[in-house]
Amino acid sequence: MNFELDKEQLMIKKMVSDFAQNVIRPRAVDIDRTAQFPVDIFEQIGELGLLGIPFPEEYGGAGSDTISYAIAVEEIGKVCGSTGLSYAAAVSLGASPIYYFGTEEQKKQYLTPLAEGKALGAFGLTEPNAGSDAGGTKTTAVVDGDDFIINGEKCYITNASFAETVIVTAVTGKDDRGKNIISAIIVPTDTDGVTITSNYDKMGVRGSDTAEIVLDHVRVPKENLLGDPEKGFKQFLHTLDGGRISIAALGVGIAQASLDRALEYAKERKQFGKAISSFQAIQFKLADMAMEVELARNMVYKAAWLKDQGKPFTKESAYAKLFATETAFRSANQAIQIHGGYGYMREYEVERFLRDAKLLEIGEGTSEIQRLVIARQLLD
Ligand SMILES: Cc1cc2nc3c(=O)[nH]c(=O)nc-3n(C[C@H](O)[C@H](O)[C@H](O)COP(=O)(O)OP(=O)(O)OC[C@H]3O[C@@H](n4cnc5c(N)ncnc54)[C@H](O)[C@@H]3O)c2cc1C
């Protein structure tokens, strides 16, 4: 067993870290304060090839692996949760399903611009009455000649306002047992009848675009159906398994940043004539944070490695997502505690880490749903 990153993974880590520290970090406070999606940063992310890390070169990607992609998410997540979330959603949710399930034609037409960083993608699964219970989708897609006519509403969709394409899930019929068949369909966002609004005032990840999508008699060609029409539900479960690795990696980034800030502050801050880092109560917090960050990162790498080997990774990606995101929340909370009153002030940024980390316990399957996924795998 080899726990070392290879040459290419180390190179990607350095490249993304330099970009994150030099370009994103100085903007992170403002991105949060203004809740503005940083379009120019995403242009640079695209130019650097980061949106194509896990996709083959023939589709405009870098031909790297899931571990490299997780490293990139972590490095961005260390400095800005908003940018990290939008980056992870663009790759794992907006582009990956086309790579996993798309036809050759769909990959050329829709995946290539996403992987090349010339466009952003989004994934519209959640609806006002279908969140954790995604099978409760109400959006419908009815065949009309050579087209689908889609009607419905999606909510909380990351990147949708800035995306060229959104993959939406919709009911396309009933199976033998009378259950809804849910399919996935690629919808260009400039299609007539698509209305996208982003009016949410969020607690955290404020610079990540989160939008509502209304689909009113949206007509798209039947060729835009993604993968097997009967297996749309299974397909998005597979997509979410992969996406969870990236949300976990984002959790590792926030947890590591919380630890770094807490460590630095604890060494500087003096009370009772000594640095607070000399108090065992503070040392124990730092020790727990460091141990959890290390564990979380190992879980992310293991899930990513399993995925790259083509082995089952559903349970491991749920472990990683659950543990890493709860670690992010705990670490950010302890970082605030170690900063005392200063930690409660925006200036010190650790309060932003806590607000951003909270979303990770909700998006792409809540912590409760991760426990259900794990339990199902154990009991099956
Ligand atoms: C900022 C942000 C970005 C998002 N981006 C996207 C995106 O790009 N695409 C997309 O499709 N969706 C996106 N989402 C939606 C997100 O995936 C859902 O919010 C999430 O899956 C939970 O669904 P819900 O909000 O409807 O909560 P609910 O499902 O209503 O859950 C409410 C509570 O009940 C619990 N619960 C529900 N069912 C069970 C159960 N069976 N057992 C135990 N507890 C249960 C939940 O864990 C939770 O604590 C985003 C959400 C946010 C906030």
Question: What span, in angstroms and rounded, lies between the C-alpha atoms of 377 and 303?
Answer: 15
Note the pLDDT of residue 229. 85
Q: Which burial class, exposed, middle or buried, applies to 282 when counting CB atoms under 10 A from its CB (0-12, 13-18, 19+)?
A: buried
Q: Tell me which residues are annotated as active site.
A: 364
Q: Class of 122-230 per CATH? A: mainly beta
Question: What span, in angstroms and rounded, lies between the C-alpha atoms of 65 and 302?
Answer: 13
CATH architecture group of domain 7-120: Orthogonal Bundle (1.10)
pLDDT by residue (tens digit) across 12-34? 999 999 999 999 999 999 999 99
Note the pLDDT of residue 36. 97
Domain ranges of the chain: 7-120, 122-230, 233-379
CATH architecture group of domain 233-379: Up-down Bundle (1.20)
**CA atoms within a 13 Å half-sphere pointing along the CA-CB vector of 231:** 11
Residues of the chain with pLDDT under 70: none
pTM above 0.85, yes or no: yes
Question: What span, in angstroms and rounded, lies between the C-alpha atoms of 152 and 310?
Answer: 35
- Answer whether 167 contacts ligand 1 (Cβ < 6 A): no
Note the pLDDT of residue 217. 98
Note the pLDDT of residue 380. 87
Ligand 1 atom with the smallest distance to the CA of 124 is: 11
Provide the 3-class DSSP secondary structure of residue 183.
strand
- Distance (angstroms) between ligand 1 centre and the Cα of 14 equals 34
- Answer whether 205 contacts ligand 1 (Cβ < 6 A): yes
Note the pLDDT of residue 232. 82
- Distance (angstroms) between ligand 1 centre and the Cα of 128 equals 10
- SS3 breakdown of the chain: % helix, strand, coil, rounded to 5? 60, 15, 25
Tell which one of 129, 156, 329, 367 to mutate to probe ligand 1, the residue whose CB is within 8 A of the most ligand atoms: 156
